[in-house]
Structure 1
Amino acid sequence: MTGTIYRLTTKDFAVLEVMLMRRRALADPAVPMLERKLAESSVVPIGTVEPDVATLNSRVIFRVDDGQAETRTLVLGDAYAPVGSGLPVGTWRGLCLLGMRAGQSALIERPDGSGERILLEDVAYQPEAARRTAPDAAAGRRSHGLRLVYSAEADRWPLGGDGKIRQTEGDDPGPSAA
């Protein structure tokens, strides 16, 4: 990753900082790449990031060198996406793509001297942009994703019950009822 300026949300920046601290303790070879990523990034508030910037949980379309275009979701780890659809930001490619703009490319230089050029073709979905365009966002309400399907009146009980508590004091049938 050289000469590219990245835009990270405050959340993505914090995630990378924690990743850097943990990997430094393990002498991980990705530490220099993480340090460069954080040094070459400008940090923006979550609500103001442009829709063409790859953020955590964004679905991105990218190309490695002259290979075929791939579509993946940038995730925190392997367990956060169905098999084959996620690209963890802890990998070389995932880390490189995080914070890039559509149309931007970068060179990944690995410790063994090999390298590959990654081109971010498009950001097909970005959660921050989706949040801004949601219908409830326009009304100032925050959607929880739930929808009321049925609401019974307070005096109606399920299965025709009358709302009384069956057991009263002195009406204990004992252990044989269990």
Structure 2
Amino acid sequence: MNGIIYRLTTKDLAVLETMLMRRRAFADALVPIIERKLAESSVVPVGTVEPDIATLNSRVIFRVGDGQAETRTLMWGDTSAPVGSGLPVGTWRGLCLLGIRAGQSVLAERPDGSGQRILLEDVAYQPEAARRAARAAGQRRHGLRLVYSAAADHWPLGEAGKIRQTEGDDPGPSAA
């Protein structure tokens, strides 16, 4: 990582700090890279991050060295995405991409000291920007809508509200 001021949301910062605490306990080789990332970052509130910044759960298009462009989703762990579609921030590539702006490149240092240049070509989807756009369009936070609400004394199809079994009607455990 080199001379770039990374922009982390408060959520991204919390994830990196948690990752740092856990990895320090095991003397993980990524600890110095996480520490440097935190030291070189400015923190912004979740709702104000620019839409071209790679945040957690963003779908990013990036290129490693002279290789082909790859599209992945930056994520906390690697268990919630189909194989090949996610890029955990616990990997050196994911960690390097987190917090940079589309068009920026960074030297991704591996724990062994070698490195490769990674270019963030585009942020195809950023959840914070999508949330702002939905709010601006007047959409609700969730897609659920109440379609029917009956009064407590009203039962569908005219049935009376009563419990079927009363005392003495218990068929016992053999009925289960």
TM value normalised by structure 1: 0.87
Specify the alignment match of 2:34 in structure 1.
34
Residue aligning to 1:92: 92
Secondary structure of the 1:83 match is coil
Could you tell me which amino acid in structure 2 is paired with residue 72 of structure 1? R
Aligned to 2:162: 165
Q: Distance in 2 between matches of 1:66 and 1:11?
A: 32
Counterparts of 1:1-178 in structure 2, within 5 Å, are 1-134=1-134, 137-138=135-136, 142-148=140-146, 150-151=147-148, 153-154=150-151, 155-157=154-156, 160=157, 162-167=159-164, 172-175=168-171, 178=175
Measure the CA separation in 2 of the matches of 1:15 and 1:166: 50
SS in 1 for 2:21: helix
Amino acid at match of 2:169: P
Distance 2:99 2:18 in 1: 16
Call closer, same or farther: CA 1:152–1:27 in 2, change over 3 Å.
Answer: closer
Gaps of 5+ in 2: none
In structure 2, relative to structure 1, the CA distance for the partners of 1:174 and 1:51 (3 Å cut) is closer
Task: Using the TM superposition, name which of 20-29 and 46-55 deviates more.
Answer: 20-29
Equivalent residue letter for 1:75:
M
Aligned pairs, how many?
172
Q: Distance in 2 between matches of 1:126 and 1:65?
A: 24
Give 1:140 shift: 7.1
SS in 2 for 1:175: coil
Shift of residue 79, structure 1, vs aligned partner: 1.1
Tell me how far apart the structure 1 counterparts of residues 133 and 160 of structure 2 sit (CA, whole Å): 44
Calculate the aligned-residue CA RMSD, in Å.
2.2
Identify which range, 74-83 or 49-58, moves more after superposition.
74-83
Shift of 1:28: 0.6
- For residues 1-58 of structure 1, the C-alpha deviation after alignment (integer angstroms, 9 at most, x for no partner) is 1112100001101110111111111111111110110011100011110000000000
Shift of 1:164: 2.9
Structure 1 residue 144: deviation in Å? 2.4
Structure 1 unaligned blocks of 5 or more: none
**Runs of 4+ with deviation above 4 angstroms:** 139-142
Matched to 2:160, the amino acid is G
